[in-house]
Amino acid sequence: MTSSLSTGLTVLAAASFSAGVCAKQLELNVLFADPSLSGTAPKSLSYSPDGSRVTYLKGKNTDANRLDLWQYQVKTGKHSVLVDSDSLFSGPETLSDEEKARRERLRLFASGIVSYSWSKDGKALLFPLNGDLYYYDLAKNKARKLTETAEFETDAQISPKGRFVSFVREQNIYVLDLKSGKELQLTTDGKGTVKNGMAEFVAQEEMARMTGYWWAPDDSKIAFTQFDDVNVPQVLRNEIYADEIKLYNQRYPYAGANNVSIRLGVVALSGQGVNWLDLGQEKDIYLPRVQWTENPNQLTYQWQSRNQQQLELRLVDLTTQQQKTLLTEQSKTWLNLHDDLHFFKDKQRLIWASERDGYKHLYLYQLDGGAATQLTSGQWVVNKIESVDEKNGLVYFTGRKDTVLENHLYRLRLKDLHIDRLTTPGASHAVVVAEDGSGFLDSYSAVNSLPKVQLNDSTGKTLTVLEANELTAQHPLTPYWPELVQPRFGTLTAKDGQTLHYRVFEPKNLDNNKKHPVIVSVYGGPGAQRVTNSWSGKDLYFHYMAQRGYIVFQLDNRGSENRGKKFEDPIYQQLGVVEIEDQITGVEYLRTLPYVDPKKIGVYGHSYGGYMAIMAMFKASDYFAAGVSGAPVTDWTLYDTHYTERYLGHPAQNAKGYQQSSVFPYSDGLTGSLLIYHGMADDNVLFSNSTKLFSELQQKGKMFEMMTYPGSKHAMFGQQVQTHLHQTITAFFDRTLMH
């Protein structure tokens, strides 16, 4: 079964020609160059709390990766630079190792002002630059430097009432009084393996928790985690650069090994010391989330079991030290974490998201107990609560109610549970909703429609276009646009009857008498979706390969996200089984196409996709003739606890599953051509994953190719690295599939 999505490709192509532009085919060296072919869409869009302006980050004309802070004033309709990063610091930035790792996990690869936050009263903004903190006062139209130290300040926050700025310095929490300028050190025992107010490795990498402290709503105190990783295995890790080798003693929690020991405390600014909370007798746990209620004496935290099959939302009354469990989630496989918890200002109700019926939906709870009310339902998922307008009883959320291929904004009326879609179909939308629900920022795109940004009112009506990103004569993509192909979407059926979505980039003017090679582009792992109706600059490489005569095919196998737990759960305790089975289903479909060469089908992926590429080459050599594997996990005992045990369980309880999920038992099956590449400073999927496989293949006399990148981490960031990498991939497939 196949289908296609209509797009504006033909109209826009005609517009390009009418402007007298000569059509060109893509060149590899322009795919990763400045200016970006996708245009210069603003980054980190945010509404001011009072709704008077929109702020965003934008690269300089002379350097797209050097970011400044911009504003759009709603009343005047004008864009202007709010803070020029060079006016505060123009030299090369020196980052601490902690900040480098933090930015890698946040995928922040630019310089200048890379992040910022608003004060809740909308009067100021806070941002870091070169290790120090700056406070921009809108009334004074001036940035004030708050810190000037040799040490690096990280995770800076403005307190809810706006009186203080907090940050972590040398593993301790500090608070700066904005009026007096005085610093107060709230913790003093952070040193060595003990860290206060910081997120441990797996919290950052696998739980999407980048902070370790939280302000009470009245500025009176801070809740924080303290962790000690003294019992976490210590590994001497190499980071190999072009002209040196750096050695790091890294605490890395391999699957089955010890995690950090963690505590949750509350410290008051008035100086009474730390109030350590009782987390229970079981110490081998996770604390994925901490959140205050509207009551400054009531704190909640999420307690998660080591096997991730039980999660409890616990409430602590700090005046009595009494605790109660507000709700419990359980699963026979695993529980996905989320940030969808909203406490009402009436201090009586909360909204919570759960997958208990197989799909992520919203539920209303009373704080004093009683049955929950399900607010949304159906065979589709809520992605995220975007805003709650308590005054008018409205919940704004994004989700996949209309189609799994597109993310849309919806408005739910609490009084009758009626749902309205506020965004336009035919595109996927990322939104920022005003706190009062008066409007929202809409960043939207389709698979062959460039990203655009507009400001809408609460009904979805466009008030103004913030970034049209039109294909003018000056746009870098304009000369290449007419030659881009139109991806085709469709569905297939998995062996268990579930629907698999795919999309395929095919050369123009296909001839049934000519056989084309195919590249299956795969990720395949949990927590990701690749087949969507949205624009991605990474897809330009697929267009480039289609112009060279390749067919590029993508399929979201079982285990990937946004389809509900029934679609995810088949991978539990056995990775690389149903994922490969579904990718084979995709290849079997490709073989039915008269213009596909069934003997010249390759596979390419990075990270989990790199693992999938190797498994495909080892376990399905009858289907795949060549493969490119990037930064692969090869042995799941080499990966971290929280991610790996979520899907495979503890190695002591599932030794067979770990062995069967490793690539090594299947290495004899390699008969085709294999290229493996890896960054030599990767601290996520450690380089030892690849070196262990290199040795295995060499010992067995199996021929393969490798490309290593000195200094590169997991994301392989950088124009030169990305260009060389894709040149390498292209040349490999040309040798193995095209001739």
Give the integer Cα–Cα distance in Å for 572 and 437.
40
- Is 678 part of the annotated catalytic residue set? no
DSSP sequence for 567-599: HHGGGTT-TTSHHHHHHHHHHHHHTTSTTEEEE
Give the integer Cα–Cα distance in Å for 235 and 84.
42
Using alpha carbons, list the distances in angstroms from residue 675 to 12, 167, 267, 690, 703: 38, 44, 53, 11, 10
Amino acid at 563: R
167: nearest Cα among 87, 209, 240, 222: 222
Give the integer Cα–Cα distance in Å for 497 and 570.
12
Give the pair of three-digit tokens for residue 8.
């504006």
Give the pair of three-digit tokens for residue 65.
């990766």
Of 48, 166, 354, 607, catalytic: 607
Half-sphere exposure of residue 2, counting CA atoms within 13 Å on the CB side?
12
* DSSP E strand stretches across 434-556: 439-446, 449-457, 462-467, 488-493, 499-505, 516-521, 551-555
Amino acid at 635: D
What's the gap between Cα 667 and its chain centre?
A: 31
- Is 534 part of the annotated catalytic residue set? no
Give the pair of three-digit tokens for residue 365.
């709870």
Of 429, 501, 606, 714, catalytic: 714
- Is 607 part of the annotated catalytic residue set? yes
Give the integer Cα–Cα distance in Å for 631 and 680.
10
- Burial class of residue 333, CB neighbours in 10 A (0-12, 13-18, 19+): middle
Angle, CA of 546, 549 and 552, to the nearest 5°: 40
Whether 212 contacts 198, CB under 8 Å? yes
Angle, CA of 644, 103 and 307, to the nearest 5°: 20
- 554 conformational bin, left if phi > 0, alpha if psi -120 to 50, beta if neither: beta
Calculated CA dihedral for residues 657, 660, 663, 667, nearest 10 degrees: 160
Residue with tokens 């100021």: 124
Q: Which DSSP category does 640 fall into?
A: B
Give the pair of three-digit tokens for residue 222.
């801070």
Whether 382 contacts 362, CB under 8 Å? yes
559: nearest Cα among 604, 507, 494, 638: 494
Count of other CB atoms within 10 angstroms of residue 468: 12
Give the pair of three-digit tokens for residue 487.
């991806």
DSSP sequence for 669-719: G--SEEEEEEETT-TTTTTHHHHHHHHHHHHTT---EEEEETT--TT--SH
Amino acid at 457: D
Whether 407 contacts 431, CB under 8 Å? no
Of 111, 682, 683, 712, catalytic: 682
Render the burial of 32-47: b for 16+ CB within 10 Å, e for the rest: beeebbbbbbbbbbbb
Give the integer Cα–Cα distance in Å for 669 and 621.
7
Instruction: Give me the sheet containing 439-446, strands edge to edge.
Output: 428-433, 439-446, 449-457, 462-467
Give the integer Cα–Cα distance in Å for 604 and 626.
9
The residues, ordered by sequence, that sit 6+ positions from 271 with a Cβ below 8 Å of its Cβ are none
Give the integer Cα–Cα distance in Å for 111 and 131.
12
What's the gap between Cα 12 and its chain centre?
A: 31
| Active site positions, annotated | 607, 682, 714
